[in-house]
A and B are shown apart, each in its own frame.
Chain A
Amino acid sequence: MAKPRTLVITGYGINCDEETRFAFEYAGAEAVIMHINDIIDNPAILDRYQIVSFPGGFSYGDDTGSGKALASRIKNNLMEELRRFIERDTLMLGICNGFQVMVHLGILPALERPIGEAQVALIHNGSNRYQCRWVDLTVEAASPSVFTRGLGTLHIPVAHGEGNFYAPEGILETIEARKLVTMRYVGPAGAPAGGEFPHNPNGSINDIASICDGTGRIMGMMPHPERGMFFSQRDDWTLLREEMRRHGEAPPELSDGVGIFMNAAGYFS
């Protein structure tokens, strides 16, 4: 079985490209990192790929709003090719800054086609401060998202200053009605975070951490699954290890984030 060909975009301050590529490769995809300028120089290259990922980072230093300037660069130079890519049976995953870029481009939630205009926003955290902390997420089983199929809860980190999901009235109802919310922030015991800090780290409306488009092939998420691939990346691994030792169990190698990438790589098989 051929490995799905994955393009991980970099440049202008994207900074999670290496671990995102590593995550896709670990999950069984073939992944390359490519500078956005090289793609703009040769846009036809997108035709060769099945998965595109916009990783996290600080594109253009978040100037004028997270993801805004990179979205403008894409809008001014690559929009048609990106639309063509999406029309094919492909996957697209945006993480953190990548999610913000996709929202500016209207790739998510893409309630109407053609895409191109923002319908929702990721605004300043309620604390107005960058938050790097581990969160618990529950997956919405009813969402069409390819990436979260079969997953239940995830314990992975967030790290952002502008992750506060906002949708105007009407849009929000449509997103919910169409089951486009893929993950929500919850407390450690699984109860809804109810907007409360720190379980909901940014004040997102309806505790929304991640959404997808109507096809389920495109997803954006504020938390970082690529930082929660392995057991020893968890913030509580030494405690879990100790508890497992006492029960005679061996600690696992993997952790929750890997499931997102496994689903992506497995989609094409």
Chain B
Amino acid sequence: MREARFRVEVFATIADARCDVVRERLLRQGFGVESVCITDNYLIDAEIPDAMMDSVASLLVQPVVQGFLVNTPYLPEGFSHAVEIGYLPGVTDNVSHTVRESIEDLLKRPLDIEKSVFSSTTYFFGGDLSDADVESIGYELHNPLIQRMKILSAGEYRKSGGMGNAVPLVDLHEKPTADIVDLDVETEELMAIAREGIAGEDGIRRGPLALDMASMAVIRDYFQKEKRKPTDIELESIAQTWSEHCKHTIFAAEIDGDGEGIFRRYIRSATEKIRRDRGDRDFCFSVFKDNSGGIEFDDDFIVTDKVETHNSPSALDPFGGAITGIVGVNRDTIGFGLAAKPVANRYGFCFADPGDDRPLYRDGARTQRLLSPRRIMEGVIHGVNVGGNTSGIPTPQGFVYFDERYKGKPLVFVGTVGIIPKTVQGKSSVEKSAVDGDCIVMVGGRVGRDGIHGATFSSEALSSGSPATAVQIGDPITQKKLSDAIVKEARDLGLYNSITDNGAGGLSCSVAEMARECGGFEVDLERVPLKYPGLSPWQIWVSESQERMTISVPEDRLDDFIDLMARRGVEATVIGRFTSSGRGIVRYHGEMVFDLDLGFLHDGLPRKSLMTKMPEKRIRPVAFPEPSDMAGVLREMAGRLNIASYEFISTQYDHEVQAGVVIKPLQGRGKVNGNATVICPVLSSRRGVVLSQGIYPLYSDIDPYRMAACSIDTAVRNAVAAGCPMDRLAILDNFCWCDSSKPERLWQLKMAAAACYDTAVAYGTPFISGKDSMFNDFRGYDESGRDVAVSIPPTLLVSSIGVTEDIGFCQTIDFKCPGDHIYLTGITGDECGGSEYHSLLGERSKGGESAGGTVPAVDTALHLRLYRAMEEALRRGLVASSISVERGGLGVAALKSSMAGMLGFELSLAGMTRGQVARNDTALFSESQGRILVSVAPTQARDFESIFADLPCGRIGTVSAGGEIVIRGLEGNTIVHSAVEEMAESYRSRFRGF
């Protein structure tokens, strides 16, 4: 192994907070760690005169608080073990890139991009620790899929003179040519190629193509017509393009004989109908065709939105999966039209209980342990932290949701809102087209083996065959430089004709996708800049290495474009040309390795025909007695995983950068998580963009139609309660399903989609973008080696985005003044099925049987009138606080307003407009839709009431000074008498320690 010439170790000369935090965390986990000391290490392998090394090392040190050693191991006092963690060969090491640039700038000469600098961290632990303890600690501190670890006892460390200078160089010897693949083989072999991948010369298969037999047959026929055998790069490319991930084969499939399929029948047609019905008032731009969807912001701007999932990568490497998720969806903004500027991030995480530490394994031998729910949660949260914060994009809006069925695969939703002028250089900014003769320019990061088979892998269930190379590491600064250079300069100089993101499928998808605009492409693959040598052509073509865009630059602007990118520190390389030949052509060192008809590549995929079947097993309602200790129940509800404060996430995500967030993630003096946020993306304008979402996975088990209707109703209502007008509101869908080859699952999917059509059309809220992920299943083994299958509950996330003309109409959730009247608008029914309350009852009872029951129905006609009335009340400034009633029902909503305002309240359940509600617990915790809880100044009460004169709206209480909570039941008796502080303690303590 190669040894670096220099090893620089940087140590703290004053107390280092990082050490204390690591120590406390390990102590909490039961390790007897007494002391922690950390060094940051840099292996530098370059021709640098020894005399220069002090200057070089000075680049790495803050001399007031740090010292350094060159080629001398750091020896802290009293450590028993040293653990060094660095990246595995080939894994992106951002710190090393920065250090290399700084050294180059100092020496005024270039160093080898990938081989000269490597970073690592060493932890020195003191205390009574066995080797096994340190092994376990090491497991906590690193992820073996992407990082290497070296553990030495203090004795070994001293003896060997420290950790050593061995550099993690990539040593790849892939075949530098394309293989020919024979498809004229037995069905069994054809299936093996599809499921496990093309076999290399050593017989080892490369990983799934994830194509079905019908597709394989069509491909075979195509090449028979072409009178030749396919190359591996052609097959891999077709597999990427036709993957479930890219083509949404299930959403596009004929379903129950309906040729329209789910997407066209229910989602796209809803938008089309709404746009038709609105006529001149249509406010949509580029829906369903570009990387994001857009709606009008004002006369000059369009606001865009896109929500993605990054579930499979996050299951393997939570930090890497989440950071590349958020930074990746940023590129869906940069790739909208001629490039929109990202102005806000969204997030949504579905995890298993972080307290669940029963292990699961991918393999029967129990060597591949799944990361624990806590590790996944911490890694994912941190990944979005680094991705969002580093990119300078505020991350104000999001949620966390917990259910044990997310243990096999977490769901990681990430979204980005952008803004773009309607016209750029006098032309529409949403029209773009690569032109015959344009140069194909790859911009941003370099290509390595990262993320190979990402698109096909996420189309399959997670199992022991899941490829580790599917992991990607994010480099947000490379992308920030790229984004600024494109969005803030190149776009407005008119330097390119078209732009798209390199996401799933890498170049194979982005180039082929853009080529549809002109009709063909030719690429010379050897021109693509690589992170390290030794990649096969097919790997270069489908790699999902991050932070890259593909741009179509006309010949006469090429020099300007390349020059601008160079001055901004952004790598830009011409890799080929767009043509109009009708064919996609790829050469590697002059040899033709890919020559496909573009029509076949894009449209050759045979459509599936799927049948659905209503499941026979229905969830039976279980009867529960009404609890006697209602205050205790309320307190427990406040502290449930799905309700408790996640302030620790909100405050670690920069939600203030760009200075536009006016309704914030934490609201009121008591800092309670709100359910909507509002941003001002144009600093000189009073217009605001309202963002929220709705999600009810547990409803799917009982009634998928109502689940979807409730999700839309909630996404819409949350936005309305924050101040968004109904006629400026659009929605996005993210279906995350499971086991989607089963007719019963497809029936649920179809029901949910049907509700999407009905509800969206009724509200006039068009779908502007969506994304689905159909196989969120895990198959593996438990701690005793038994087979385990875990599938997520069918999950639909509906995100809402709307525009308010004046942020002065917006409102927060906190009660503001004692004496204010409290009103509940809408009707409360006996609709506790799938509710948070029933989950609690289920957990309280033996066996954890959830309670079944009726999922809330959505009366769109009534709700529409209620929402319009609320819009008027907010516009007229009659409302002092407003909160949409969602998970946890009225009880939780009232509690949140109270905790946020740090004020008490008196509530009388008898005052509510209600349906068949006979019990107090039902009245308090039913999740009936359409309801908003508001407080109103007594002087405004008459005006407020008159707006709701013909609508269900009941005065149910009063805001009180001091901190008492008093709730009277339907019969007038006091059922809760408690203190806000006591509830707040439960609400805030759940995630203490995270």
Contact between chains at A10 and B385 (CB < 8 Å): no
Docked Cα-Cα span, A60 to B666, in Å, equals 29
CA distance A29 to B60 in the complex (A): 36
Whether the pair A104, B62 counts as a contact (CB closer than 8 A) is yes
A229-260 CB mask vs B (1 if < 8 Å, else 0) is 10011011111001101100000000000000
A130 and B683 contact, CB distance less than 8 A: no
Instruction: Check A58–B16 contact: CB distance below 8 A.
Output: no
Q: A11-B568, A58-B477 are in contact. Are A203 and B17 (CB under 8 A)?
A: yes
Segment at the interface with B among A115-123, A176-184, A213-221: A115-123
In the complex, whether B860 has a CB less than 8 A from a CB of chain A is no
In the bound complex, do residue A64 and residue B20 qualify as a contact, i.e. CB atoms below 8 Å apart?
no
Q: Which residues of A in the span 1-46 have a Cβ within 8 Å of any Cβ on B? A: 10-16, 18-19, 22, 35, 37-38, 41
A243 touching B658, Cβ below 8 Å:
no
Q: Complex Cα distance A159/B958, Å? A: 37
Tell which of B385, B683, B880 has the most Cβ of chain A within 10 Å: B683
Partner of A236, one of B18, B659, B669, B880: B669
B658's nearest neighbour on chain A, judged by CB, is: A19
Q: Is the CB of A233 within 8 A of B568?
A: no
Residue picked from A62, A63, A243, A245, most chain B C-beta under 10 Å: A63
Residue B154 interfacial (CB < 8 Å): no
**CB-CB under 8 A for A159 and B657, given A13-B477, A128-B20:** yes
Counting CB contacts under 8 A, is A61 at the interface?
Answer: yes
Instruction: Say whether B659 contacts A19, CB under 8 Å.
Output: yes
Q: How far is the CA of A72 from the CA of B98 in the complex (A)?
A: 11
Q: Is B62 within 8 A of A12, CB to CB?
A: no
- A12 lies within 8 A of B65 (CB): no
Question: Given the complex of chains A and B, what is the CA–CA distance between A58 and B21 in angstroms?
Answer: 22
Taken together as a complex, chains A and B put the C-alpha atoms of A125 and B770 apart, in Å, by 39
Which chain A residues border B389 with CB–CB below 8 Å? 58, 130, 159, 161
Contact check, A60 vs B392: say whether CB atoms are below 8 A apart: no
A132 at the interface (CB under 8 A from B): yes
Q: For the complex, what is the distance from the CA of A114 to the CA of B40, rounded to whole Å?
A: 30
Give B100 Cβ to nearest chain A Cβ, in Å.
10
A226 / chain B contacts, CB cutoff of 8 Å: 659
* Interface residues in B91-128 (C-beta closer than 8 Å to A): 94-95, 97-99, 101-102, 105-106
**CB of B180 within 8 Å of the partner chain:** no
Q: Is the CB of B567 within 8 A of A238?
A: no
Residue A124 lies at the interface, judged by CB distance under 8 Å to chain B: yes
- A-side interface mostly: mixed
Number of interface residues of B (CB under 8 A): 68
Nearest CB in chain A: distance from B629 CB, A: 33
| Interface residues contributed by chain A, number (CB under 8 Å) | 69
What separation, in Å, do the CA atoms of A15 and B657 have in the docked complex?
8
Known: A61-B98, A245-B877. A123 touches B17 (CB 8 A): yes
The distance in angstroms between the C-alpha atoms of A61 and B473, with both chains bound, is 14
Contact A61 B62 (CB under 8 A): no
Interchain CB contact (< 8 A) of B64 among A41, A64, A130, A168 = A168
Indicate with 1 or 0, residue by residue over A85-121, a CB within 8 angstroms of chain B CB atoms: 0000000000000000000100000000000011111
Residues of B within 8 A of A243 (CB): 816-817
* Residue of B whose beta carbon sits closest to that of A21: B683
- State which residues 313-331 of B face A: CB under 8 Å: none
A243 to B880, CA, bound (A): 10
Closest CB in chain B relative to A60 CB, distance in Å: 5
Asked if residues B659 and A227 are in contact (CB atoms below 8 Å), the reply is: yes
Shortest Cβ gap from A64 to chain B (Å): 5
* Chain B residues near A35 (CB-CB < 8 A): 567-568
Chain B residues closer than 8 Å to A41, beta-carbon distance: 567
Query: Which residues of B sit under 8 angstroms from A153, Cβ to Cβ?
Result: none
Q: Given A18-B658, A233-B659, A246-B937: A238 and B810 within 8 A (CB)? A: yes
Provide the residues of chain A in CB contact with B64, threshold 8 Å. 118-121, 166-168
Give the chain A neighbours of B658 by CB distance below 8 A. Answer: 15-16, 18-19
Is A77 part of the contact surface with B, judged by Cβ < 8 Å?
Answer: yes
Stretch binding the partner chain, chosen from B162-170, B647-655, B797-805: B647-655
Determine the distance from Cα of A235 to Cα of B622 in the docked complex, in whole angstroms.
Answer: 44
Query: Of all chain A residues, which has the CB nearest B668?
Result: A239
Contact B62–A63 (Cβ < 8 Å): no
Q: Which residue of A lies closest to B19 (CB)?
A: A128
> In the complex, which of the residues A22, A61, A125 has the most CB atoms of chain B within 10 Å of its own CB atom?
A61
- Bound form: Cα–Cα A41–B21 in Å: 43
Closest to B103 in A: A72
Smallest CB separation, B810 vs chain A (Å): 7
- Of the candidates B385, B663, B684, the one whose C-beta lies within 8 Å of that of A130 is B385
Q: Is B927 at the interface (CB under 8 A from chain A)?
A: no
Contact check, A61 vs B659: say whether CB atoms are below 8 A apart.
no
Q: Are B567 and A121 in contact (CB under 8 A)?
A: no
Bound Cα distance from A127 to B664, whole angstroms: 22
8 A Cβ contacts from A140-193 to B: 157, 159, 161, 164, 166-168
Which single residue of chain A is at the shortest CB-CB distance from B391?
A15
**B78 contacts chain A at the CB level, 8 A cutoff:** no
A133 at the interface (CB under 8 A from B): yes
- A82 touches B (CB below 8 Å): no
Within the complex, what minimum Cβ distance (angstroms) separates A245 from chain B?
Answer: 7
Question: Quick one: which of B65, B659, B668, B901 has the most chain A CB within 10 A?
Answer: B659
Residue of B nearest to A66 (CB): B62
Asked whether, in the complex, the Cβ of A76 is within 8 Å of the Cβ of B106, the reply is yes
- CB-CB under 8 A from B385, the residues of chain A are 130
Q: Once the chains bind, are B568 and A132 in contact (CB under 8 Å)? A: no
Chain B, residues 630-660, CB within 8 Å of chain A (1/0): the string is: 0000000000000000000011111111110
Provide the bound-state CA to CA distance between A121 and B17, in Å. Answer: 14
A12–B483 Cα distance when bound, in Å, is: 11
A127 to B994, CA, bound (A): 11
Contact (A124, B880) CB under 8 Å given A58-B477, A64-B99, A130-B385: no
Q: Whose C-beta in chain B lies nearest to the C-beta of A167?
A: B64
Out of B99, B480, B664, B814, name the residue touching A15 (CB < 8 Å).
Answer: B480
Q: Are A229 and B652 in contact (CB under 8 A)?
A: no
A residues 51-68 touching B (CB-CB < 8 Å): 56-58, 60-65, 68
- B441-481 contact mask (Cβ, 8 Å, vs A): 1 or 0: 00000000000000000000000000000000001110011
* A68 vs B654: C-alpha distance when bound (angstroms): 21
Closest partner residue, chain B, to A33 (CB atom): B488
Q: Does B807 contact A (CB under 8 A)?
A: yes
Give CA–CA (A168, B63) in the complex, Å: 11
Tell me if B816 and A242 are in contact (CB < 8 A).
yes
The reply to whether A128 and B568 contact each other, CB–CB distance below 8 Å, is no
User: Does B33 belong to the interface (CB within 8 Å)?
Assistant: no
Residue pair A229, B391 in contact (C-beta under 8 Å)? no
State A127–B21 Cα separation when bound (angstroms). 7
- Evaluate contact between B652 and A129: CB separation under 8 angstroms: yes
How far, in angstroms, from A19 to B669 measured CA to CA in the complex? 26
The reply to whether B662 and A237 contact each other, CB–CB distance below 8 Å, is yes
CA distance A132 to B811 in the complex (A): 21
Instruction: Check B651–A133 contact: CB distance below 8 A.
Output: yes
The distance from the CB of B241 to the nearest CB of chain A, in whole angstroms, is 33
B46 at the interface (CB under 8 A from A): no
> Once the chains are docked, how many angstroms separate the CA of A248 from the CA of B382?
45
Within 8 Å by CB of B568, from A22, A37, A157, A167, lies A37
Which residue of chain B lies nearest to A35 when distances are taken between CB atoms in the complex? B568
Is A83 at the interface (CB under 8 A from chain B)? no
Residue of A nearest to B813 (CB): A238
Q: A72-B59, A232-B662 are in contact. Are A61 and B817 (CB under 8 A)?
A: no
When A58-B477, A159-B657 are in contact, do A16 and B392 touch as well, CB less than 8 Å? yes
Residues of B within 8 A of A203 (CB): 17
Q: Does A79 contact B (CB under 8 A)?
A: no
B48-98: which residues lie under 8 A (CB-CB) from chain A?
Answer: 59-60, 62-65, 94-95, 97-98
* Closest 10 pairs between A and B when the two form their complex, measured CB to CB: A15-B392, A63-B98, A128-B21, A19-B659, A61-B477, A121-B64, A63-B95, A242-B816, A238-B812, A124-B17
Enumerate 9 A-B pairs (CB-CB under 8 Å) in ascending A order. Answer: A13-B390, A13-B477, A58-B392, A58-B476, A120-B64, A166-B65, A233-B662, A243-B817, A246-B817
Instruction: Known A-B contacts: A22-B684, A37-B567. Give 7 more (CB < 8 A).
Output: A120-B64, A124-B18, A126-B17, A131-B651, A159-B656, A227-B657, A242-B816
